[in-house]
Chains A and B, each alone.
Chain A
Amino acid sequence: MTFAETIDRARGENRTLLSEVEAKAALAEAGVPVTATTLAQTREEAAAQAEGIGYPVALKVVSGNVAHKSDVGGVVLGLESHEEVADGYDEIIRSVQAAQPSAIIEGVSVQEMAAPGVEVIVGVTTDPQFGPVMMFGLGGIMVEVLGDVAFRLAPLGEGDARDMIDEIQGRQVLDGVRGQPPVDVGAVEAVLDGVSRFAAEHPEIAELDLNPVIASPEGAIAVDARIVLAEA
Chain B
Amino acid sequence: MSVPGHPLDRMFNPKTVAIIGDKGPNYMWLRNNQPFKDRGGNLYSVQIDEKEIPGIEELGIENFRALTDIPEPVDYALVAVPRHVSPYVMKDLIEAKVGGAAFFTSGFAETGEELGVSLQAQLTEMAREANFNVVGPNCMGLYLPRVGVRFNPDVPVAEDGRVGFVSQSGTHSIMFSLVMGANGMHLSRCASFGNAIVLDISDYLEYLTEDPETEVIAMYVEGVKDGPRFVRALREAAARKPVVVWKGGQTDAGARATMSHTGSLASPHAVWQGIMRQCGAISTDSLDETVDAVKVLLDAKAATGKRMALMAMTGGQSVSITDAFVGEGFEVGRLSEGSYEELSSFFNIIGGSFQNPLDMAGTVQGKRETLERILGILDADESVDALVMEQSAMFGARQWKDHPERIDDLIDTLAGHIERSAKPFLMVMHPAHEEAFVAEVRLKFAERRIPVFASFERAAAAAARALPRATRA
Q: What is the interface of chain A, defined by CB distance below 8 A to chain B?
A: 16-17, 121, 123-125, 127-131, 133, 135, 137, 143, 147, 149-153, 157, 160, 163-164, 167, 207-209, 211, 226, 228
Rounded to whole Å, the gap between the CB of B281 and the closest CB of chain A is 13
Q: Please indicate the chain A residues that have their CB under 8 angstroms from the CB of B262 in the complex.
A: 121, 123-125, 135, 207-209
Q: Do B260 and A152 have beta carbons less than 8 Å apart?
A: no
Q: In the assembly, what is the distance between CA of A129 and CA of B260, in Å?
A: 18
Which of chain B's residues 232-285 have a Cβ closer than 8 Å to chain A?
251-252, 256, 258-263, 265-266, 268, 270-271, 273-275, 277-278
Q: Are A121 and B275 in contact (CB under 8 A)?
A: no
**Between-chain CB contacts (< 8 Å), 22 pairs:** A17-B259, A121-B262, A123-B262, A123-B265, A125-B258, A125-B260, A129-B224, A129-B227, A130-B231, A130-B271, A133-B266, A133-B271, A135-B266, A137-B265, A149-B265, A151-B271, A151-B275, A152-B275, A153-B231, A160-B278, A163-B277, A207-B263
Interface residue total, chain B, C-beta cutoff 8 A = 24
CA distance A174 to B303 in the complex (A): 28
- Closest beta carbon of chain B to A151's beta carbon, Å: 3
Interchain CB contact under 8 A, B265 and A128: no
Check if B338 is an interface residue, CB within 8 A of chain A.
no
Q: Is the CB of B260 within 8 A of A228?
A: yes
Q: How far is the CB of B395 from chain A (nearest CB, A)?
A: 39
B228 proximal to A (CB < 8 A): yes
Known contacts A125-B266, A129-B224, A130-B231; decide if A150 and B274 are in contact (CB<8 Å): yes
List B192-230 residues whose CB lies under 8 Å from chain A: 223-224, 227-228
Q: Which residues of B contact A124 (CB under 8 A)?
A: 262
Residue pairs across A and B with CB atoms within 8 Å: the count is 81
CB-based nearest A residue for B270: A151
B residues at A contact (CB < 8 Å): 223-224, 227-228, 231, 251-252, 256, 258-263, 265-266, 268, 270-271, 273-275, 277-278
Label chain B's interface by main secondary structure.
helix
Q: Which residue of A lies closest to B260 (CB)?
A: A207
In the complex, A164 Cα to B278 Cα: how many Å? 9
- Whether A207 and B274, one on each chain, are in contact in the complex, defined by CB atoms closer than 8 angstroms, is no
With a CB–CB cut-off of 8 A, which chain B residues contact A127? 227, 266, 268, 271
Closest-CB distance, A67 to chain B (whole angstroms) = 10
**Which chain A residues border B231 with CB–CB below 8 Å?**
130, 153
Say how far B270's CB is from chain A's closest CB, in angstroms: 6
Contacts of B275 in A (CB 8 A): 130, 151-153
Cα(A157)–Cα(B278), bound, Å? 9
- Bound-state Cα–Cα, A209 to B258, Å: 12
Q: When the two chains form their complex, are residues A131 and B227 in contact, meaning their CB atoms are under 8 A apart?
A: yes
Least Cβ–Cβ distance between A68 and chain B, in angstroms: 12
Q: How far is the CA of A129 from the CA of B272 in the complex (A)?
A: 10
For A17, the chain B residues whose CB sits under 8 A away are 259
Q: Which residue of A lies closest to B261 (CB)?
A: A209
Q: A130-B231, A147-B270, A149-B265 are in contact. Are A123 and B278 (CB under 8 A)?
A: no
3 nearest CB pairs, A to B: A123-B262, A151-B274, A207-B260
Please give the distance in Å from B184's CB to the nearest CB on chain A.
Answer: 35
B261 contacts A211, C-beta separation under 8 Å: yes
Does the CB pair A153–B278 fall under 8 Å?
yes
Pick from A17, A123, A226 the residue with the most CB of B within 10 Å.
A123
Which interface residue of A121, A128, A135, A160 has the most chain B CB atoms within 10 A?
A: A135
Specify which chain B residues have a CB less than 8 angstroms from the CB of A137 in the assembled complex.
Answer: 265
Q: A135-B266, A150-B274, A160-B278 are in contact. Are A129 and B223 (CB under 8 A)?
A: yes
Task: With both chains docked as a complex, state the minimum distance between the C-beta of A169 and any C-beta of chain B, in angstroms.
Answer: 12
